[in-house]
Structure 1
Amino acid sequence: MLLLSGIVLTAGAQANYQRDYRERVMTQKLPLPLDARSLDKRHDVAAALEFLYAYMVLPDLTDHSRAFYAREVSTTLRARREMPWGRNVPEREWRHFVLPLRVNNERLDSFRSARYEELKARVAGLTMAEAVLAVNHWCHEYVTYKPSDARTSSPLASMRTATGRCGEESTFTVAALRAVGIPARQVYTPRWAHTDDNHAWVEAWVDGKWHFLGACEPEPVLDLGWFNAPASRGMLMHTKAFGRYAGPEDRMKSTACYTEINVTDNYAETARTVAQVVDEAGHPVADADLRFTLYNYAEFYSVYRGRTDAQGRASITAGLGDLVAWAAKDGRYGFQKFSVGRDSVVTVVLRHRQGDRVQADLNIVPPKGRNNLPYVSPEAAAQNEKRKAHEDSIRHAYVAAFPDSVATADFCRKEGYDYAVVRPLVEKSRGNSAALFRLLRDFKHCDVVAVLKSLSEKDLADFDYDILADHLRAGRVPKQVDAFAAAYIYSPRIAYEPLSPWRSVLQRSFSQKQQEAFRRNPLELARWIAANVKVDNTWNPLYQSHNPENALRLRTTDSYSRQRLFVAAARSLGIAAGIDPVTEKMRYALSPDAWVEVDFDQLKQTPPAAGEATAPTQLRLTYTPREYLLDPAYYTHFSLSALQNGAPVLQNYDGTWKELFETPRTIAAGDYLLVSGTRMADGSVLAHLEIFPVEKGRTTEIPLTMRQDSTQVQVIGNFNAENLYLDPISGQTKSLLSTTGRGYYVVGLVRPNHEPTNHILHDLSALKGDLEAWGRPLLLLFQSEEDWMRFQKNRAEYVHLPATLHFGIDHQKQVADDLRLSGLMNCDDLPLVVIADTFNRVVFRSQGYTIGLGEQIKTIVGKINSPQ
């Protein structure tokens, strides 16, 4: 019966994708490239390509050839034949979680065909579960964690740089698992509930069941990672299945290209809440824009967005914590906090409108979480650590081969470059230094250095020589370029899209007469694009970056890519243009200090002439500094969103209150939402919302409110300050007290080359000045001398640690045992950080993954007086 059901399901699924393929491609529902209709003649390859072409996003259709997909599909089919588990993977899991090349928003590459043989050899003779663990070890051999920008590197690029953030590590690991025919998917929590930030990891299908693992963070067994405990406190974890997926998971959303599924109950206790949206008379509001939001990074971030049904309802299944439902329609809006698990229904009334003043205090409580770890024997754990250390040595040897200062100096001497300018570029290029040296050598006649300096660190590590060469040639870069022109005319970098050779193509796309007209008035270029390039978000629902040259060729793209097309076209004609980093709207420059915002929907309006005097529209936030919070930071303590049609749109500022809003700051007129919050030691948040209008030509003053609750800081346990540890510098055994002296101090148990520990070190570096001003010692302890030595190999990555930070080794386990006996360490999850004093009182504890720990320490110590 089960086998028969599988056959029926497979036949139904095949009919679906074949119908979708014919409807999309053969009937030319979209103006697709011709080679999408000319499939491989081999039946199995053709069938697989039909499935991919039926659902792939528009940029993937135009930015890669049929030959590219056919080659990668052929490798996938080969893996299905050659892997011992190939015949056991059901058709549904194979089509949705093995066949697709795309994992996230990375640039697609030929990783699958390029690395199949190597991975095949690595998993030879293993069971499916063993193969998953082995592939993760292989991934760790090549890539380790390092934070970076929002653009996701391709798998091959991550290998070349040897680093990646969690989204890149998980993309890389999913690609590696799929390469050997193992169904895999990237699981993503959009935002944690108990701490700032987000995370991504991997699920792999093994013998009929999905299991999870930390990408490039191999453990001895499946379903084990540093994020077990944080995930149990998560509000929402989800993944996207390529195409029309009909699996057993809770389906959140279906689009033309993917199905979004909810996997939260794989990790945490969940419940369902129904949101009922009504008007002020109590009538249901259908087709309202409804967002379920979570406090994180000082905003109420939308973890799920949908529209209400005919009865004005929408629902979410989530972890047992607090969310805020925000609904809007036709300029009216409302919001309501609710607790999942306690509130099965929450009513949101659209009681607010443009110009309203609204204030609200919200206490946000995250889920409690649980500890449910699979057993790992001490022998297995030790063997895994030994294996990881060997993999670290392989990766370190690869990185050690990157050009050093001597090689860079020799190059600069031969080619006539300033070493002080070129060396930082070489360091950032990592495994891409050969392309960098070639570019510098071939384009000495122009200011290639200025253009390179306009790129991101990630760009330097993975740019393609031919793409940058196209921009340098077509741009006719002069011998000397100022930083403004380099960034906004000659640079190929617009936002966070993959770089492409758009400059020469766009220049050839317009007649000389058109080019002259566009240069005289860049709004004419915007009008031409608005009239000739159609917006289609249906076939790119996640706004995947569409190469500007292909968007223009197709005359169809999504709304965000059309903005980038305007910027690219303007730059190709020598017009300074970019995307506003705060509002994310396109703009062009009359001069470095005079920008004109461009809106495709308002092109009939005439912008103010350069130098035209108008009364400024400004916002000032008033704040009275407190001893422990002198200067609130954007994203950490507060954020500002513009209300557009009643829905908040975050403004992407970077800085602190003093830098941004202590004095009046020019912003656009309209309604705004100011969110501020104080995160407590248990992960809860004291939040404040302020909604207000900013009138054109006036300065608006709004108080920045940082709520307090002194009762949150209290003695939570005891810890012996006389515990001993090993000082690795002196080789002596010391007491904690001998290092900390009398008073408060911070002590932590950490692991080397471990993402949560890395986050803590970066957080402490960011608050170097504040922690040094506090003057109290911080002591981080490794569990063994081997761990200390592993950390030392990467110590150079942390050059800005506070001078008050010390390192040691808990060689006799006195610290760990004491914390465990006192109930402060309830599992082996690290890092574990406490604030204590030499009267053996503990006032703060944080165990496991935490973002912003430095800020939490800064807040806590600001409220306590060190005893003398």
Structure 2
Amino acid sequence: MTVNTAYGLNMDVIEEKFAWKKEQAQGREESLFAVFEQDLSEQEKQLLQFLYAYMPLHDLADYDGAFFLNHIRQVLQVQADMPWGARIPDEIFVNYVLPYRVNNENIDHSRSVIYEELAERVQHLSMTDAILETNYWCHERATYIGTDIRTVSPLTIMRTALGRCGEQSTLTVTALRSIGIPARQCYTPRWAHCDSNHAWVEAWADGEWHFLGACEPEPVLDEGWFRLPAKRAMLVHTRVFADYNGPEEVTTTHPWYTEINLLAHYADVKTIHIHVTDEAGKPVVAEVQFQLYNSAEFYPLTSLMTDDQGHASLTTGYGDLFIHAYTSSVWGTAFLNTNTSSELTLVLKRYNIPVYAEHTTTNTSPTVVREEWKMTPPVAPVIDSGAKVDESTAHQHIQRIKAGTAIRTAFEHTFIDQEQARQYAEEWQLPTDRLWNILQTAKGNGEEIAAFLGECTLAELALGLRLLESLRPKDLTDTFRPVLHDHLQGVISLDEASHIYSSDWDQYVLCPRVHFEMLTPYRNYFADQWNTEQQHAFRSDPMLLATVLEQEIAVNNHIDRYTGMATPAAAHQLGVTDSVSRDIAFVAAARSLGIAARLEPLNAIPQYQLQGTWHSVQWKQEQSTFVEDSVLASATGQIQFVRASDDVEVVAEYQHNFTVAIFENGIYRTLDIPYGEKEVYQQPYNVLAGNYRLTTGTRLEDGSVLGTFTYFNVQPDQQIEVELVFRTEQQQIPVLLETLPEPLQHHIYSLQPNDEKEDRKEGYILAWLEPEREPTKHLLRELAELRAELEIWAGDIHLLIADEQEYGAVILDPLPAQSQIAIDSNYQFLEQWSDCLTSLGGDQLPVVIVVDTQHRVRYCLQGYKLGTGKELLRIVNGMNIDIHQEKN
């Protein structure tokens, strides 16, 4: 074994993997590998080979060798310049400082930009204080917002001052690494007790890992609002782009990356053992998915291959899991309660559910099999206040938070405002409201978007605006002029035969967005690939284009952790990519030639439109090994959801309380019906023929779930009706406190506006908020989503904040009309509640309390819990029933 003495790298393994990657990347050999012809030190050469060896294919497609060499040289320079650089162990350095990406974000030059801003601030601090200071800097640059799943780059987060938790943690890890501090992004892939997930950061200081909330500073390390919820997690992991030999448990070993298990840092854990056999009792080498109910589907927290004895083990928490094991021909599932069991034997069968037997002949009465189940999460921990800090430190921290918010707010005030948008609209003769919507959404990228329009001719402006309107909101924040001009000029240059303006044209020809890839120029690239005669042939029969692309792009789905990330032109140029990126490249190439194309909404199958009809692309190289997956890959039927006869007026919401999944290659894949869709009884859904599992679930207050599986089959050209059956459990509304003390009654009364100094008929919701924190933002969003339902309730909603400076962070307009903001200076009023409610033993915000008309406390929640809005609606509606019963 050849070992680099500087970093302990196994160069035999690295050189072997590097050679394989180089062979795959022959389509971009000059761009990627000419850099090795430069005068490199042995250190630079080995680190560059290390990066290439474990690099995902999409990075080989989208970036050049010069980028990676510059990155290495910058990292080495920072290591030499920062006082802690020499103290970082080799294995920590190569895994948690050197990597150029954190997760699946778009890559940019953020490390050098952030270093210039941050280095002097931390140069003379200890590692611990430098980590804390870096998080204060991150707070100055970004706050939380819920967005789509595409992870933007750190510079985009800084440009918009907004990001979801995965993006905030990407920024924070990048910032720490930019100053040479080891850092990693930690994920709980899905919470067990509520329908969401979360990402945060761990940073290494003087030999130990510590956690922190990204862009949410605390005065000390190992604190954050997620600290208590993490005690209920079933898995917390991080990803290393290398073969990993560190101390943590490895959950997934992959040739190109490793996932390691960090759950023991946060929660009580135990090891469970899965034994997989065939029907004869012989061990089976199979993939085992450890699944968790979340957002009405069963999500694989992680997957492990069994050994030759059919065994796999996982360290997890004390809650329920759903175990799904499969091979290319057999599969099986079972529920496992880790509280009571540590072992499970799973027998895999070819035909595992009765629905695969004979089907009924009537179209609207499919053979169905129902299975009821209950999933229970780990128990809620005892609430505590966490680490104590002295009064001076706490006061200084509060001032730092206020100062950081002011810095970020001042930056946001530099964005294009409505008056500037009006002036631009007048100059360009464009509708003011449409232009303002675009520029407002672009935030810190508004000037770039305006510059693009300013460079359009008068004849191009209307189409340019339509191009911008075809994009997703996030696209407007990180798409620049060269990209926009390529797509605008690309559609303008289409010949008259293909330049057809229809209702679908903007969405399926003009729009450059296909899936969740980064937007790049590709129209001119694809238009240059084929001559006029070939392009006409492709328009007449788009399957000819698919056939050509299938020959020119090899598919390898065993390299990249995330699919669909390669940009279209780069994937084609490289000549090898994952199947989703290949599908995206087809759609992009088709649109570049004026062919309406898309990824079909429910299954993401590439489709083209011919004579007004959508046709699915059939790739020859992709055939299912499970013959029962579908009769024909192109065969379709319809599902019509119907309300169950015993329904108790449960509102069906997709990925809130139900999903439907098709069985493919041994596992169930959830259909991409729009998130939150409620009008599900109104229309049939066109689906592939095959076997399906409908999952319905009702999340109870303790986080457990009452659920049902409904198995059924869709035959080609068949429309079937499937009942949505929701199990419910009568949940009493408890009385947590019989008599509210007089001072607290008086204080609630004092919160009323002067012209409303009388008790409302139906009670009060009081919510103490931290507007800068993600949990509060979730709560406010949920209240806004339930505005109509809560306005029916004749009670007041008092939103209490600690300081007048936080007013601007709570916008009342989308909230229920009875919502009011009040000041509880330093949460002094909240402290009085702690004396009478034992559940308020800590300082986890938000705190939500419901008081009825008799001044009894009926609900109290402290800390993070997604779904609080619906719980509040249930409580206040139940109080109405109580009032009616008491009157009678």
Gaps of 5+ in 1: 1-6, 606-613
What is the aligned partner in structure 2 of residue 609 from structure 1? none
Range that drifts further, 704-713 or 384-393: 704-713
- Contact 1:727-1:734 at 8 Å conserved across structures: no
Give the Cα–Cα distance (whole angstroms) in 2 for the partners of residues 740 and 456 of structure 1: 46
In the alignment, residue 857 of structure 1 is paired with which amino acid? L
Range that drifts further, 323-332 or 762-771: 323-332
What is the aligned partner in structure 2 of residue 849 from structure 1? 864
Post-superposition offset of 1:395 = 0.9
Could you report, residue by residue, the CA deviation over 1:637-688 in whole angstroms, capped at 9, with x for unpaired residues?
1111111134110112126676123554332221111111111111111111
Could you report, residue by residue, the CA deviation over 1:401-422 in whole angstroms, capped at 9, with x for unpaired residues?
1111111111111121111211
Alpha-carbon spacing, 1:587–1:206, altered in 2? closer, same or farther (3 Å): same
Give the Cα–Cα distance (whole angstroms) in 2 for the partners of residues 9 and 489 of structure 1: 55
Post-superposition offset of 1:274 = 1.4
Q: Does 1:622 align with 2:643?
A: yes
What is the aligned partner in structure 2 of residue 164 from structure 1? 163
Post-superposition offset of 1:8 = 9.4
Could you report, residue by residue, the CA deviation over 1:606-635 in whole angstroms, capped at 9, with x for unpaired residues?
xxxxxxxx99533333235866x4422111
Give the Cα–Cα distance (whole angstroms) in 2 for the partners of residues 747 and 719 of structure 1: 17
What is the aligned partner in structure 2 of residue 98 from structure 1? 97
In the alignment, residue 222 of structure 2 is paired with which amino acid? D
Give the TM-score normalised by structure 2.
0.90
Post-superposition offset of 1:754 = 1.3
What is the aligned partner in structure 2 of residue 801 from structure 1? 815
What is the aligned partner in structure 2 of residue 523 from structure 1? 543
Alpha-carbon spacing, 1:634–1:25, altered in 2? closer, same or farther (3 Å): closer
Give the Cα–Cα distance (whole angstroms) in 2 for the partners of residues 406 and 275 of structure 1: 63
DSSP-derived class of the 1:13 partner: coil
What is the aligned partner in structure 2 of residue 432 from structure 1? 445
DSSP-derived class of the 1:813 partner: helix
Post-superposition offset of 1:817 = 2.6
What is the aligned partner in structure 2 of residue 339 from structure 1? 337
Give the Cα–Cα distance (whole angstroms) in 2 for the partners of residues 818 and 91 of structure 1: 51
In the alignment, residue 874 of structure 2 is paired with which amino acid? T
What is the aligned partner in structure 2 of residue 610 from structure 1? none
Alpha-carbon spacing, 1:700–1:861, altered in 2? closer, same or farther (3 Å): farther
Could you report, residue by residue, the CA deviation over 1:510-556 in whole angstroms, capped at 9, with x for unpaired residues?
23332122111111111222222111223323226112112111211
DSSP-derived class of the 2:504 partner: helix
Post-superposition offset of 1:177 = 0.4
Give the Cα–Cα distance (whole angstroms) in 2 for the partners of residues 11 and 75 of structure 1: 17
DSSP-derived class of the 2:228 partner: helix
Post-superposition offset of 1:57 = 0.9
What is the aligned partner in structure 2 of residue 23 from structure 1? 19
Alpha-carbon spacing, 1:328–1:817, altered in 2? closer, same or farther (3 Å): same
Give the Cα–Cα distance (whole angstroms) in 1 for the partners of residues 442 and 136 of structure 2: 25
- Contact 1:740-1:777 at 8 Å conserved across structures: no
DSSP-derived class of the 1:632 partner: coil
Q: Please, which of 703, 717, 731 is the counterpart of residue 697 of structure 1? A: 717
Alpha-carbon spacing, 1:63–1:658, altered in 2? closer, same or farther (3 Å): closer
In the alignment, residue 376 of structure 2 is paired with which amino acid? V
What is the aligned partner in structure 2 of residue 364 from structure 1? 375
Alpha-carbon spacing, 1:189–1:106, altered in 2? closer, same or farther (3 Å): same
Q: Percent identity?
A: 35
- Contact 2:8-2:91 at 8 Å conserved across structures: no
Could you say what the CA RMSD is over the residues aligned between the two structures, in angstroms? 2.9
Where in structure 2 are the equivalents of 1:380-419 lying within 5 Å? 380-419=393-432
Post-superposition offset of 1:586 = 1.3
Give the Cα–Cα distance (whole angstroms) in 1 for the partners of residues 679 and 21 of structure 2: 53
Give the Cα–Cα distance (whole angstroms) in 2 for the partners of residues 157 and 468 of structure 1: 17
DSSP-derived class of the 1:659 partner: coil
Range that drifts further, 854-863 or 382-391: 854-863
What is the aligned partner in structure 1 of residue 779 from structure 2? 760
DSSP-derived class of the 2:848 partner: strand
Q: Please, which of 698, 709, 712 is the counterpart of residue 678 of structure 1? A: 698
DSSP-derived class of the 1:49 partner: helix
Give the TM-score normalised by structure 1.
0.92
In the alignment, residue 146 of structure 2 is paired with which amino acid? P
Where in structure 2 are the equivalents of 1:235-634 lying within 5 Å? 235-287=234-286, 289-330=287-328, 332-351=330-349, 352-353=352-353, 355=356, 357-370=368-381, 371=383, 373-443=386-456, 444-446=458-460, 447-476=463-492, 484-543=504-563, 545-590=565-610, 594-601=613-620, 617-624=638-645, 629-634=649-654
Alpha-carbon spacing, 1:657–1:510, altered in 2? closer, same or farther (3 Å): closer
Alpha-carbon spacing, 1:306–1:234, altered in 2? closer, same or farther (3 Å): same
DSSP-derived class of the 2:9 partner: helix
- Contact 2:762-2:793 at 8 Å conserved across structures: no
Post-superposition offset of 1:726 = 10
Give the Cα–Cα distance (whole angstroms) in 1 for the partners of residues 169 and 675 of structure 2: 30
Alpha-carbon spacing, 1:701–1:859, altered in 2? closer, same or farther (3 Å): farther
In the alignment, residue 648 of structure 1 is paired with which amino acid? Y
- Contact 1:329-1:646 at 8 Å conserved across structures: yes
Give the Cα–Cα distance (whole angstroms) in 2 for the partners of residues 603 and 24 of structure 1: 24
Post-superposition offset of 1:841 = 3.7
What is the aligned partner in structure 1 of residue 874 from structure 2? 859
Alpha-carbon spacing, 1:295–1:590, altered in 2? closer, same or farther (3 Å): same
Post-superposition offset of 1:703 = 2.2
Range that drifts further, 419-428 or 744-753: 744-753
- Contact 1:726-1:810 at 8 Å conserved across structures: no
- Contact 1:749-1:816 at 8 Å conserved across structures: no
Give the Cα–Cα distance (whole angstroms) in 1 for the partners of residues 623 and 762 of structure 2: 67
Q: Does 1:743 align with 2:762?
A: yes
Could you report, residue by residue, the CA deviation over 1:13-34 in whole angstroms, capped at 9, with x for unpaired residues?
2435643455335677866523
Give the Cα–Cα distance (whole angstroms) in 1 for the partners of residues 636 and 601 of structure 2: 23
Give the Cα–Cα distance (whole angstroms) in 2 for the partners of residues 434 and 335 of structure 1: 54
Post-superposition offset of 1:336 = 1.2
Gaps of 5+ in 2: 358-367, 625-634
Alpha-carbon spacing, 1:855–1:332, altered in 2? closer, same or farther (3 Å): farther
Post-superposition offset of 1:808 = 2.1
Could you report, residue by residue, the CA deviation over 1:351-374 in whole angstroms, capped at 9, with x for unpaired residues?
515626432222211112435622
- Contact 1:579-1:587 at 8 Å conserved across structures: yes
Range that drifts further, 425-434 or 57-66: 57-66
In the alignment, residue 808 of structure 2 is paired with which amino acid? K
In the alignment, residue 859 of structure 2 is paired with which amino acid? F
- Contact 1:428-1:461 at 8 Å conserved across structures: yes
- Contact 1:719-1:836 at 8 Å conserved across structures: no
Could you report, residue by residue, the CA deviation over 1:709-751 in whole angstroms, capped at 9, with x for unpaired residues?
21464334456275549999x997889x967634343222221
DSSP-derived class of the 1:617 partner: strand
Could you report, residue by residue, the CA deviation over 1:196-247 in whole angstroms, capped at 9, with x for unpaired residues?
1111111101100110101111110000011111111111110001211211
Range that drifts further, 371-380 or 654-663: 654-663
Alpha-carbon spacing, 1:568–1:581, altered in 2? closer, same or farther (3 Å): same
Alpha-carbon spacing, 1:262–1:704, altered in 2? closer, same or farther (3 Å): same
Alpha-carbon spacing, 1:615–1:549, altered in 2? closer, same or farther (3 Å): closer
- Contact 2:780-2:815 at 8 Å conserved across structures: yes
Alpha-carbon spacing, 1:726–1:837, altered in 2? closer, same or farther (3 Å): closer
Give the Cα–Cα distance (whole angstroms) in 2 for the partners of residues 277 and 603 of structure 1: 27
